[in-house]
Amino acid sequence: MSGPPEEKLDGTNSLLDRMLLDEIAPVVMVLRTQLVEEACQKNNLTLIQMLQPFSVFGNIDVPVRTVNDQPYRLRTFKLRLVYASDICQPNIEDSEKHLKKVVSDANEKALNDIQDDSPKLEMTVPMADPEYMSPWFRVFNKALLHTVSFSDHEAFDHPVACLIVVSTKDEQPINKFVDLFNTDQLPSLLNDGAMDPKILKYYLLIHDSQDGSSNRANELLAEMRSTFGPNDCRMLCINSYKEGDEQRNDNPWSRVADTSGGQDIGCFLNIDDVDEIKDLMLDLSSKHIIPYMEQKIRSLNQQVSTTRKGFRNQIKNLWWRKGKEDTADALNGPMYTFSSIESQIRVLGDYAFILRDYELSLSSYRLLSTDYKLDKAWRRYAGAQEMIGLSLFMLDQSGKEAEYYMENAFSTYLKMGSSGQRNATRCGLWWVEILKVKGQYKEAATVYFRISTEEPSLHAAVMFEQASYCYLRSTPPMLRKYGFHLILAGNRYNICDQRKHAVRAYRSALPVYKEQAWSYISDHVHFNIGRWYALLGMSNAAIQHMLEVLACNHQSPTTQEALLGDFLQIVQKLGKKYDALRLRLPVINVASLKVFFEDHRTFASSAAALVNEHVWRSLEEDLVPSVNPSGANWLYSLPKSSRKNNDSHICVAGEPIKVDLEFKNPLQIPIVVSCVRLICKFSPISSTGEYDLDCAQSVNDENGGRSDTGSCDAMEVSNRESNDDCSSFISSEVDFTLEGDETMMVQLKVSPKMEGILQIIGVRWTLSGSVVGYLYFDSHLAKKNCSKGRIAASKKTSKNKLKFTVIKSLPKLEARIHQLPLMAYSGDLQRIILEVSNHSDSSVKNMKLKISHPRFVVPGRLEDLDMEFPGCLEKHISHDIHDMQDNAMDKLKGLSSFPKDAGIQGGTTLLWPLWLHPVVPGNISLNMSIYYEMVTPSEHMNYRILRMRYDLEVLPSLDVSVQITPSPSKLQEFLVRMDIVNRSNSKNFQLRQVSSVGNSWHLSELLPTPLGDQQQDERTLKQETIYRSSSNCPRQLLAVGQGLSQFFKLMEVSKTSRLKGALERQSSLSLDISSISKSEIDVSSMPLSEFHIQEIWHQEKQSAQEQGRTVDLVLISQWEKTSPEPEQQSGSQQLFVHYLCHCSADMQSPIQWQMDGPRIVTHDFSDSFCEIGFQLTIRNSSDYIASVSINTSDDIPFPSQQSDPSQTSHVGWHDISLSNGGKVPSDIQGQRNTSTRTSVDSSLPFLWCASSSTKIKLEPMSSMVVPVRICVMAPGTYDLSNYTINWKLRFGTEENSVSGLLGRSWGTSPGHPFYLTVLQSS
């Protein structure tokens, strides 16, 4: 067996080594008289405190021999001096108190920590170093170890020696020495037989130098020596300090008794005294205790060897123990007295351990543990295991075995239940240190965790915290575990009312969870920190943490309510409104920020402001003078003042800047938000007239740089300043309540009152009346580069987006439209009134109006205002023209100017009628821009534009289509079939009037005129030629969903009569009167004529292919007259006007003809054959000259005679789509050709007289009468259709293109059937 290696002995490298030195060191029991203590107290020290600094030896250098005579030298050594009264198992309550005190003392330190800024993780990592780590952990751990001191099952706490101290002032000191040891006051360990009461005694006589000379003391010492033996006695002189003595350099007691404090410690102990004490302790250790222990080890070893070592002894031992088995059933096994071999082995092991002979101690403990195990003495067994572990570790630090024994000891202690629990803790702490030395921090943390589960909260808290640092120290650092254990620790601290520690632990954990999406964790941590801070009275810090929790939308509503309630309570405790820069309730969506301001562009409504700028630009193209550079685009380089302000917007003093901002309540509970207003910065124009840009800039930077709440107060001041500065701008305040999960768009306004530069910096609001939140846009906008409505188009920096140059106040028009419905049926003609008012003092001029949908809205005349609707539309005498001045092209574009005199004086209002006539069903967005110029132009703007926007929903009403068919019997006469379907969903319509527009057509009712009554027809025609257009009144009611077909007769008015009419009436057009009860609507006057023009324009676009003669029809209808219930809100009847433009009245071929002549002829065939004359009226309805040849033939006509393939294409019935609007070509002719021809019974032929072929030339749109004759030989009925008409159009130069459009340029048509009956005269 070799001695312990030298280098091990002075190793105090690890914490474990130090702990072992501290804890497993020989105990010296101190017995003293009261007077000794009094003498020491002069120095504010107890006796032990006085001696303690000198009981630790860094290099005692005492030679020792092992049991095998191996010499080695002991370096570090320590004596534990304990009063005899303290040598007992500590009272549990006392030790708890002590532990609590340790923690509480550390509290103060913790408080300092938590007042700092939030910890950074990088800073925490080095903190985990044990040297750096809070020293109070060591104090705590030590105190925890001491709770199980002086147990009877371990020998290293048993006193090795006894120091008996008596003062020279004591009466009969020699007797005192004897009395002290012999009293019954000795610790129970000595009395109850757990240890050998015969221990080493050392007699010390204390002499207080202040009590006089040491002569008597020396006498007493001599007496002692003779009584107790010469070597075991000693005298110590203390308190020999006199004035003028050499000052000690350092105070060895400073660390011993920090509780008593002050400089008085050891004040009467001079250097000689100290040296004497040092000498005393060294003598005690090296000359007495160590040799004594060495000696004891030898004798014990001898004894053990004889009784236990060797094969024979082992067998005997086993046999003997088996016999005892039945009796030993107590938990701690049998009682072992000091004289039992087990106790002696334990003493041997412990002494060997103390003297660092680990080999010997290990073998002893091993021997012991088997015995105890057999005896089921579990506490002793565990204690032995524990020591085996330690010994193994001291022998070989890298071995794994030590851990195994520690674990075994730990779990054995735990198995014993509560009595072993504290031992387990101690064992665990040893174990942890072993693991730490090995660098196995993760495992160490686990052990801490295991300890904590057995300990009360306070201890557990400290254990958890130590575990967390272990996780931090492990490689790689296990930060999440670190955080988790800190939270566990904090939680336990809180349970034990150690709030500062709790806050400290939680705060340390914060960096781990920072910017993580683990919402519940983050909420828990912040909420608890906040709550504890509040309990500690640190409201500001509490609120800051609470702020983090407020927007906890993932929590349940009750939790949310509780959190908010707690938060508000804390704030209220503060007693004033709290300014929070990071208030996240409600959530403000900065990206939703929209700024509406009005420079030269003004808006009648917010809806108008939301429309994209380019929509307005294109609408206003013709409106705005192009030379004017105020297109607000800075890219136009301007020589003038606007150049200088190109980085900010222009707004007008007195006009509000509106900011739309979205507020969202992330919670499910309602929150009250009040006093929401914009934070603005205003810098007036400096005296030089230049804008003080730099100044404003610097203020902005300052604001933008603020991010922490520390500068909140400063901000508050600046806010107050700006808000108090009422002379420069007014900021509106808004209050509202957000329901759970509600998002609200809030409009905030700021109105500058004077010229200068206004910058919107942010927004502030008050939550629940107690917390003021701030949000600065700068930082957010810079990040997000958010779009900001119409301003997004301009390439300005985000900062400048909220910066405005305020110019002096200008006139501004406001406008609205009266009587504009939100919903209308298509065709509904209404009068709406535009009200434009000028609230400023100065006047505006040159007003112009541009409408985006000129088809639906046309400006009326000023007189329309006074007229009754719809009476004004009925036929009247001609009127003066007081129209807006504009040309036809502008009208189509929707541009119109107000009359020159229509400028608006300051403070006056202009009313102007507009006509609304929505035609196309669907949603229509009407955009209108009013342009006006200032009478007194300003430097910055000469004109302004007022933009209006209205949304209108147009519902379908009537669906009208027209089909025009040429009359088969009459030229220039057409059958109009008007299909009307009521497409509305609830309204019945009453048809009122159908009119044809223009002077070339005449519309009449389809009278039941007898066929062949040609003369009468012609008369009617002549009678009515004075009318340019004609109307018919069907007086029909059309219910919902019902369809109706109306037939009218349409006659083309000949050119001559047209001219005549034109002379009669110059500009106004009249209509037929057909209505009985109502006067007729004048479709050719304003505004119907206006809309007609628009419709022509638009419908032409749709049907560009339409050629030839067309007719425009107007259908006027109204709602069904119900009971005399009040009329619509407009107070007038609804009038629906449907235009059908470009209805084709074209023939199949451009040439039509008609045969006129007698139908029945009576002739006496006995005289001669009969000769009958007919007239063939041929009409060219094309725009080209046509040459026509009439060929007669005497053959019997056949049905297959048709030569024109196009005429067969639509034979029979087929669908005619109503939506075609009557543009489907008619097929009546074709039908006739096929169906009638077959039934002809031509018996005897007749002969065509005169030439068999006649050629004529027809001018465009003209007709010619060609006479034809036939000879009939016999009476009978004849079909005179056996002729053909060949025609050919003569195109001009552009023949090809036109032929393509027309389809046909030539053709051959068979004759129409004409039946002639010839009778034999009687």
Partner 1 sequence: MASTACFVIVSRNDIPIYEAEVGSALKKEEAAHQHQFILHAALDIVQDLAWTTSAMFLKAMDRFSDLVVSVYVTAGTIS
The tokens of 213 are what? 């000379």
Task: State in angstroms the smallest separation of the CB of 472 from partner 1.
Answer: 11
Task: State in angstroms the smallest separation of the CB of 512 from partner 1.
Answer: 9
Among 521, 536, 955, 1006, binds partner 1 (CB under 8 A): 521
Task: State in angstroms the smallest separation of the CB of 124 from partner 1.
Answer: 16
Among 132, 520, 636, 1315, binds partner 1 (CB under 8 A): 520
| Residue closer to partner 1, measured from CB, 515 or 1241 | 515
996-1014 b/e (C-beta count within 10 Å ≥ 16 → b): bbbbbbbbbbeeeeeeeee
Distance, in Å, from the CA atom of 1174 to the CA atom of 1248, rounded to the nearest integer, reads 11
In degrees to the nearest 10, what's the CA dihedral of 525, 528, 533, 536? Answer: -140
Strands 828-838 and 813-818: antiparallel
180, 239, 240: which is closest to 204 by C-alpha? Answer: 180
Residues 6+ apart with CB under 8 A from 700: 681, 759, 761, 778, 799
What's phi and psi for 992, nearest 5 deg?
-115, -40
| DSSP designation for 936 | S
| Residue closer to partner 1, measured from CB, 452 or 830 | 452
| Residue closer to partner 1, measured from CB, 559 or 988 | 559
Angle between helical axes of 499-513 and 457-473 (0-180°, round to 10):
30
| Residue closer to partner 1, measured from CB, 457 or 1299 | 457
DSSP string, 84-101: GGG-SPPPHHHHHHHHHH
Task: State in angstroms the smallest separation of the CB of 471 from partner 1.
Answer: 7
| Residue closer to partner 1, measured from CB, 491 or 838 | 491
557 binding partner 1? (CB under 8 A): no
Tokens 């107070």: give the residue. Answer: 1131
| Residue closer to partner 1, measured from CB, 513 or 1048 | 513
Rg (CA), the chain: 59
| Residue closer to partner 1, measured from CB, 520 or 1198 | 520
Among 321-329, 517-525, 603-611, 1235-1243, which window interacts with partner 1 (CB under 8 A)? 517-525
Answer whether 420's CB lies under 8 Å from 412's CB.
Answer: yes
Distance, in Å, from the CA atom of 1181 to the CA atom of 598, rounded to the nearest integer, reads 60
Q: Is the peptide bond before 1087 cis (omega within 30 degrees of 0)?
A: yes
Answer whether 69's CB lies under 8 Å from 294's CB.
Answer: no
Task: State in angstroms the smallest separation of the CB of 164 from partner 1.
Answer: 53
Among 313, 559, 606, 1277, binds partner 1 (CB under 8 A): 559
Task: State in angstroms the smallest separation of the CB of 481 from partner 1.
Answer: 5
Among 323, 417, 517, 986, binds partner 1 (CB under 8 A): 517
Q: Which of residues 770-809 bind partner 1 (CB under 8 A)?
A: none
Task: State in angstroms the smallest separation of the CB of 368 from partner 1.
Answer: 36
> Residue type at 353?
F
DSSP string, 1253-1318: EEEEEE-TTEEEEEEEEEEE-SSEEEE---EEEEEEEE--S-HHHHHHHHS-SEEEEEPPP-EEEE
| Residue closer to partner 1, measured from CB, 518 or 1306 | 518
| Residue closer to partner 1, measured from CB, 564 or 1114 | 564
Query: Site size for partner 1, by CB under 8 A?
Result: 20
Among 188-196, 279-287, 420-428, 519-527, which window interacts with partner 1 (CB under 8 A)? 519-527
The tokens of 734 are what? 């808004």
Answer whether 832's CB lies under 8 Å from 913's CB.
Answer: yes
Tokens 């086993």: give the residue. Answer: 318
Task: State in angstroms the smallest separation of the CB of 417 from partner 1.
Answer: 20
Answer whether 1158's CB lies under 8 Å from 1112's CB.
Answer: no
DSSP string, 1133-1157: --EEEEEEEEEE---SSSEEEEEE-
Task: State in angstroms the smallest separation of the CB of 513 from partner 1.
Answer: 8
Task: State in angstroms the smallest separation of the CB of 43 from partner 1.
Answer: 52
Distance, in Å, from the CA atom of 29 to the CA atom of 186, rounded to the nearest integer, reads 10
487 binding partner 1? (CB under 8 A): yes
Task: State in angstroms the smallest separation of the CB of 330 from partner 1.
Answer: 33
> Residue type at 691?
Y
| Residue closer to partner 1, measured from CB, 20 or 525 | 525
Q: Where are the alpha helices (DSSP H) in 575-635?
A: 606-610, 613-619
Among 348-356, 518-526, 918-926, 1146-1154, which window interacts with partner 1 (CB under 8 A)? 518-526
Task: State in angstroms the smallest separation of the CB of 7 from partner 1.
Answer: 35
Task: State in angstroms the smallest separation of the CB of 522 from partner 1.
Answer: 9
The tokens of 829 are what? 């003609």
Task: State in angstroms the smallest separation of the CB of 554 from partner 1.
Answer: 8
| End-to-end Cα separation, the chain, in angstroms | 175
1283 binding partner 1? (CB under 8 A): no
| Residue closer to partner 1, measured from CB, 449 or 603 | 449
Distance, in Å, from the CA atom of 1016 to the CA atom of 468, rounded to the nearest integer, reads 117
Q: Which of residues 496-515 bind partner 1 (CB under 8 A)?
A: 513
Among 516, 641, 737, 1168, binds partner 1 (CB under 8 A): 516
Window 445-484: contact mask with partner 1 (x via CB under 8 A) = --------------------------x------xxxx-xx
Task: State in angstroms the smallest separation of the CB of 329 from partner 1.
Answer: 34
Residues 6+ apart with CB under 8 A from 1229: 966, 968, 1148, 1207
Tokens 């070509």: give the residue. Answer: 1225
Q: Where are the alpha helices (DSSP H) in 60-147?
A: 92-115, 121-127, 136-146
| Residue closer to partner 1, measured from CB, 468 or 896 | 468
518 binding partner 1? (CB under 8 A): yes
| Residue closer to partner 1, measured from CB, 276 or 548 | 548
| Residue closer to partner 1, measured from CB, 516 or 698 | 516
| Residue closer to partner 1, measured from CB, 280 or 563 | 563
Residues 6+ apart with CB under 8 A from 1193: 1248, 1252, 1282, 1283, 1284
Among 210, 226, 295, 556, binds partner 1 (CB under 8 A): 556
Task: State in angstroms the smallest separation of the CB of 839 from partner 1.
Answer: 56
Q: Which of residues 973-1012 bind partner 1 (CB under 8 A)?
A: none
Task: State in angstroms the smallest separation of the CB of 478 from partner 1.
Answer: 4
Q: Say how many C-beta atoms besides its own lie within 10 A of residue 1102's C-beta.
A: 11
524 binding partner 1? (CB under 8 A): yes
| Residue closer to partner 1, measured from CB, 63 or 557 | 557
Distance, in Å, from the CA atom of 563 to the CA atom of 559, rounded to the nearest integer, reads 6
| Residue closer to partner 1, measured from CB, 111 or 495 | 495
121 binding partner 1? (CB under 8 A): no
Secondary structure (H, E, C), 372-424? HHHHCCHHHHHHHHHHHHHHHHHHCCCCCHHHHHHHHHHHHHHHCCHHHHHHH
Among 523, 599, 620, 1052, binds partner 1 (CB under 8 A): 523
| Residue closer to partner 1, measured from CB, 468 or 719 | 468
Q: Which of residues 841-880 bind partner 1 (CB under 8 A)?
A: none
Task: State in angstroms the smallest separation of the CB of 559 from partner 1.
Answer: 6
266 binding partner 1? (CB under 8 A): no
Residues contributing to the site for partner 1 (CB under 8 A)? 471, 478-481, 483-485, 487, 513, 516-521, 523-524, 556, 559
